[in-house]
Amino acid sequence: MKTLKLLSVFMLGSILLTSCVAEVVVEEDVFIEEPTISLNQLLNSYEIWYVDIERTQGNGEIPFLQKAFTVSFKNGTFYANNNLVGIGSNGNGFGLDVGFYNTFGMEVDVSHDIDGTYSLDVIQLSNNEIRLYDGVTNTSYYLIGYQRNTFDYDKVFYDNIHYFLHEYTVWEKVYTSEIGALNEFDNENYLQFLYYGSGDNFRSSEDVNVSNINDIYYDYNGYYAVDDVPNNFYMKNLTLDYDYLGNEYFELTVINDSRIELLHPSSGTIYEFVGRGYLQFKSSKDGKPSQNDKKRLKKADFMKLTK
């Protein structure tokens, strides 16, 4: 009898103890961080999104991002600065109205006037940096946000002078200084710069006073390169590689959006050229080269210019 009572007390105690232990177990709270602002608010929080093209990942491309220097998402309208001519003033700094957009969760659908519709995942990397990912082509573009009054349009312009040169169909020589030794370039009156990837990407002509630029006959062609000048942000070195005729070297200075100065150091002669036939880049076939063009031809062009 005592044994049974003791056993009953032991079992009852075990049950009560188990119940007490079960009561003190507290589940940890699971916190799910909700976005503090919507995707549309995020895209509108910066007036200008700079397309950091050199960080692009993937073998495909999103045409309207590939050719843009900046894009903007403004109340459903999609803007882009595809040209360096007029950058900072075109569209009050926003550039061209090139389409519209809608947001769904963390996805933005951009309907471009020419390139069509793309559905892009948006990944926020920091307060002012996002990644746009296209799952169809497995390609990512990185965008950095700025306000117009703090965005350095000049830096974008001078960092991309090689693109500026092919925003005109042709450059016409309008001035030659009296100071300077005679040289073969004195006879060159028209220069045409094409984007990298188009084969020989510059041509020159000795034609004089051509009224219709489509009638210009180009005597020479070759490759060109634009390089930085140490400690001088506003000047560039321009190399014209005339293939078997050798190279010509110049110090290039931009006078305004349609006029450039070329100093020929070996002769001391200064030339001025004016752009004719402005090209407004909006189509995906215009402007900067494609991702694949850049990867395939960058090394080849470099080898030609340094041979």
Of the candidates 147, 101, 106, 103, the one whose C-alpha atom is nearest the C-alpha of residue 128 is 147
14 band by pLDDT with thresholds 50, 70 and 90: very low
Specify whether 188 is located in the same domain as 60. Answer: no
Question: Mean pLDDT across the stretch 257-262?
Answer: 97
**Per-residue pLDDT for 16 more than 60?**
no
Are 139 and 61 a contacting pair, CB within 8 Å?
Answer: yes
Query: Could you tell me the pTM of the whole model?
Result: 0.78
**Per-residue pLDDT for 118 more than 70?**
yes
**Per-residue pLDDT for 19 more than 70?**
no
Residue 181: inside a domain? yes
Specify whether 62 is located in the same domain as 94. Answer: yes
Q: What is the number of domains present in the chain?
A: 2
CA distance 264 to 177: 11
What is the SS3 assignment for the chain? CHHHHHHHHHHHHHHHHHHHHHHHCCCCCCCCCCCCCCHHHHHHCCCEEEECHHHCECCCCCHHHHCCCEEEEECCEEEEECCCCCCCCHHHHCCEEEEEEEEECCEEEEEECCCEEEEEEEEEEECCEEEEEECCCCEEEEEEEECCCCCCHHHHHHHCHHHHHHHEEEEEEEEECCCCCCCHHHHCCEEEECCCCCCCCEEEECCCCCCCHHHCCCCEEEEEEEEEECCEEEEEEEEEECHHHCEEEEEEEEEECCEEEEEECCCCEEEEEEEEEECCCCCCCCCCCCHHHHHHHHHHHHHHHCC
Instruction: Please give the pLDDT value at position 238.
Output: 96
36 band by pLDDT with thresholds 50, 70 and 90: confident
Specify whether 47 is located in the same domain as 100. Answer: yes
Question: Mean pLDDT across the stretch 238-253?
Answer: 90
User: How far is CA 103 from each of CA 24, 63, 107, 119, 264, rounded to the nearest angstrom?
Assistant: 46, 20, 6, 9, 53
Residue 134: inside a domain? yes
35 band by pLDDT with thresholds 50, 70 and 90: low
**Domain holding 92: CATH number?**
2.40.128.280
Structure-token pair, residue 86: 């007029």
Specify whether 264 is located in the same domain as 300. Answer: yes
Instruction: Please give the pLDDT value at position 31.
Output: 46
CA distance 74 to 77: 5
Instruction: Please give the pLDDT value at position 201.
Output: 87
Domain boundary among 152, 187, 215: 152
Hey, what amino acid is at 213? I
Question: Mean pLDDT across the stretch 249-267?
Answer: 97
12 band by pLDDT with thresholds 50, 70 and 90: very low
Residue 26: inside a domain? no
Instruction: Please give the pLDDT value at position 195.
Output: 74
**Per-residue pLDDT for 192 more than 70?**
yes
Instruction: Please give the pLDDT value at position 18.
Output: 42
Specify whether 143 is located in the same domain as 168. Answer: no
Length of the chain: 307
Alpha-carbon dihedral 186, 190, 196, 198, rounded to 10 degrees: -120
What mean pLDDT value characterizes the chain? 84
Are 195 and 287 a contacting pair, CB within 8 Å?
Answer: yes
281 band by pLDDT with thresholds 50, 70 and 90: confident
Sign (positive or negative) of CA dihedral 56, 61, 62, 64: positive
Give the model confidence (pLDDT) of 60-114 as tens digits.
999 999 999 999 999 999 999 999 999 999 999 999 999 999 999 999 999 999 9
Range of the domain at 254: 161-305
Residue 32: inside a domain? no
Instruction: Please give the pLDDT value at position 304.
Output: 43
